Structure 1
Amino acid sequence: MARLGALLVAAALGAVLSFALLAAAVASDYWYVLEVADAGNRSGPGRAEHLSSHSGLWSTCEGHSSCIPLIDPFTSESLDTSVQHLISLHRAVVVVLPLSLILLVCGWVCGLLGSLAQSVPLLLVTGCYFLLGGALTLAGISVYISYSHLAFEETARQYGAQHVQAVNISFGWSSALAWGSCAAEALSGALLLAAAHALSLSRQPGAPHSVVI
């Protein structure tokens, strides 16, 4: 039963870590980083400061200026199909990732109840729940990556490829935190499934006192 306790504690810690990482990722503004290379020779320091930026799910920060809310990127009076698609992707991301946070809390409560009640079915359901939650987080990250690439392509199309040749784009530490949260959530789900299996074996007739997975 010591192995069972270790699995349950590890799963609980993984769930807490997953929530903390995803909450920090959703709240921060370093998902997408845009920098101008050799800006001094190409367009001057002022222009470089204007182009360099970093953004998150809710706001974007240009240069050293304060961040401004990010509401429906590329909005205009007449939106073409490609821009509407970008807006739909962005809206999907800002719904899916906060929803993953809420589901993490619900999953942690279910896991706690399953641990206290020593319920194999509840531990199994909660383990699958965490795996599905990790898949949802992964889907949100994937949609954001797709949105970012399409947004850059749309910017190049609207303003001309020559204006973005000196621009380097990358994903910042906020997206790395989201990836870490996804991995921790999937690990918690796997640990809960292993705990349910260990508990089931310990209840079988003639099972040894020490269960080895």
Structure 2
Amino acid sequence: MKGKRHLVSWSAALFGVLGFVFLVAAIGTDFWYLVDASKLERLSNSTERLSSHSGLWRTCRFQSTCQPMVNPFKPDTENITASHKQLLTLITLAGLSLYISYSAAALKEARFLMGTNRLLDHINIQFGWSLAFAWFSFVAEVLTGLAFLLMSRMIGLERRRDRSI
């Protein structure tokens, strides 16, 4: 039984560390949302780059500079308390979830409305690997919680068995 407990505790630690690493990578990178307009760029013979990728904190044009988005946590916001920052983070995550579902529906509607124009056939819009890292983090954190619950159950059964002896 002790060997199983060690295995579960190491699994919990491993999943916890992986969840944290994936979350840091997801939050810190700029590949949540990708817009590939290279087909349109070739068709129009334009020198302007239309393709871009976005993260939680900034939007970047490919082969160009990145533009920061509004940052509610910049140093000159001294009147925002820690609880306000936590609330803003929670609202940001909820808004991100709504944004994901809305953008898929908006793209479908735009394709319907464009009909014969077919402009959107030359633009590829997709979610990037930063979002995948966020999902990996979520799964790893759920597995961490399940491992802790299993460990608790194992310890409880072991204590009951020891009391009955």
How far apart are 1:16 and its partner, in Å?
A: 1.3
Q: How does 1:33-52 map to 2 (within 5 A)?
A: 33-47=34-48, 49=49, 51-52=50-51
**Which structure would you say has the larger RCO, counting Cα contacts within 8 Å and 6 or more residues apart?**
2
Number of paired residues? 143
Report what 2:144 is aligned to: 188
Q: How does 1:1-213 map to 2 (within 5 A)?
A: 1-47=2-48, 49=49, 51-71=50-70, 95-96=89-90, 142-149=97-104, 161=114, 162=117, 163-205=119-161
**Counting helix residues as a fraction of each chain, which structure ranks higher?**
1
How far apart are 1:46 and its partner, in Å?
A: 1.7
How far apart are 1:205 and its partner, in Å?
A: 3.4
CA pair 204-58 structure 1, distance change in 2 beyond 3 A: same
State the alpha-carbon separation in 2 of the partners of residues 171 and 71 from structure 1.
21
Gaps of 5+ in 1: 73-93, 99-136, 209-213
State the alpha-carbon separation in 2 of the partners of residues 71 and 175 from structure 1.
20
Q: What TM-score results when the alignment is normalised by the length of structure 2? A: 0.71
Where 2:160 maps in the other structure, the secondary structure is coil
CA pair 40-66 structure 1, distance change in 2 beyond 3 A: closer
Identity over aligned pairs, percent: 38
The answer (yes or no) to whether the contact 2:35–2:126 under 8 Å persists in 1 is yes
State the alpha-carbon separation in 2 of the partners of residues 12 and 140 from structure 1.
30
Letter in 2 for 1:52: S
Where 2:25 maps in the other structure, the secondary structure is helix
State the alpha-carbon separation in 2 of the partners of residues 151 and 65 from structure 1.
27
Supply the RMSD in Å over aligned alpha carbons: 3.2
CA pair 151-35 structure 1, distance change in 2 beyond 3 A: same
